[in-house]
Amino acid sequence: MTKLDVIAGFLGAGKTTLIKQLLKDVSRKEKIVIIENEIGEVSIDTLDLQDLRATIKEITSGCICCSLSTNLITTINAIGEEGSVDRIIIEPTGLACLSDLLGMFDYLNKSIFKINLIITILDVYKLEFFAGNFGTFFSDQIRKSKTIILSKMDIASEGDIKFAKYYANTLNLFTPIIETSWDKINIEYLENLLQNTQITQKKSHQLHKYKKSFDGFENITIKPKELYSKDVLFLILKEIKSKAYGYIIRMKGFLSLDENTSMKIDYVLGQIYIKETNLKSENILVIIGKELNATKLKEIFK
In the prediction, which pLDDT does 207 show?
A: 30
Average pLDDT over residues 248-265: 84
Task: State whether 163 and 28 are in the same domain.
Answer: yes
State the pLDDT at residue 67.
59
Residue 267 CA to residue 252 CA, distance in Å, equals 6
2-9 and 113-123 as β-strands: parallel, antiparallel, unpaired?
parallel
Closest CA to 147 of 113, 185, 105, 184: 185
Integer Cα distance of 3 and 87 in angstroms: 5
Give the mean pLDDT of 224-245. Answer: 88
Rounded mean pLDDT of 234-263? 86
pLDDT band, residue 132 (cuts 50/70/90): confident
Query: Which band of pLDDT confidence, cut at 50, 70 and 90, is reported for residue 42?
Result: low
Predicted confidence at residue 40, as pLDDT, reads: 62
Number of domains in the chain: 2
Percent of the chain with pLDDT over 70: 87
Average pLDDT, the chain: 83
Residue that terminates a domain, selected from 146, 177, 209: 209
Residues 203 and 229 in one domain: no
Contacts for 227-231: CB closer than 8 Å, 24+ residues apart: 227/256, 227/257, 227/258, 228/255, 228/256, 228/257, 228/263, 229/257, 230/257, 230/263, 230/274
By CB atoms closer than 10 A (0-12, 13-18, 19+), residue 252 is buried
Q: Residue 216: how many CB atoms within 10 A of its CB?
A: 9
Answer yes or no: do 84 and 222 share one domain: no
Over residues 88-96, the mean pLDDT reads 90
User: What mean pLDDT comes out for the span 67-83?
Assistant: 83
What does the pLDDT read at residue 120?
97
Kindly indicate the confidence band of residue 200, based on its pLDDT and cuts at 50, 70 and 90: very low
Greater confidence (259 vs 178) lies with: 178
Residues 184 and 79 in one domain: yes
Q: Based on the domain organization, do 246 and 289 belong to the same domain?
A: yes
Q: What is the average per-residue pLDDT within 261-288?
A: 83
Helix, strand, coil % in the chain, rounded to nearest 5: 35, 25, 40
In CATH, what number is assigned to the domain containing residue 155? Answer: 3.40.50.300
* 100 in the same domain as 13: yes
What's residue 201's pLDDT?
38
136-165 confidence digits (pLDDT tens): 778 899 999 999 999 999 999 898 899 899
**The pLDDT value given to residue 59:** 83
Residues 192 and 222 reside in one and the same domain: no
Full-model pTM: 0.74
State yes or no: pLDDT of 212 exceeds 60: no
User: Helix H segments across the chain?
Assistant: 15-26, 44-48, 69-82, 98-104, 127-143, 158-171, 187-195, 230-239, 294-300
Which letter, b or e, does each residue of 44-54 get, where b requires 16 or more Cβ atoms within 10 Å of its Cβ? bbbbbbeebeb
**Which pLDDT belongs to residue 209?**
30
- Cα angle value 290/291/294 (rounded, 5°): 110
CA 256 to chain centre: 24
pLDDT value at 205 more than 60: no
CA 292, CA 295: separation in Å to the nearest integer?
9
* Same-domain check for residues 123 and 222: no
Asked if residue 52 has pLDDT above 80, the reply is no
- Residues 175, 254: one domain? no
3-state SS assignment for residue 81 = helix
Contact 258, 274 (CB under 8 A): no
DSSP 152-200: -TTTS-HHHHHHHHHHHHHH-TTS-EE-S-GGG--HHHHHHHHHTS---
Last residue within a domain, chosen from 209, 230, 250: 209
**pLDDT class of 27 with cuts at 50, 70, 90:** low
pLDDT at 302: 86
Is residue 176 located within the same domain as residue 274?
no
Average pLDDT over residues 189-217: 54
State the residue range of the domain holding 71: 2-209
CATH of the domain at 265: 3.30.1220.10
Same domain, residue pair 229 and 159: no
Rounded CA separation 253/47 (Å)? 9
Amino acid 191: pLDDT: 93
CA distances from 45 to 61, 83, 166, 204, 296 (A): 14, 26, 31, 28, 25
Q: pLDDT band for position 203 (50/70/90)?
A: very low
- Does the structure show a pLDDT above 70 at 299? yes
Specify the amino acid at residue 163.
F
Domain end among 174, 209, 244: 209
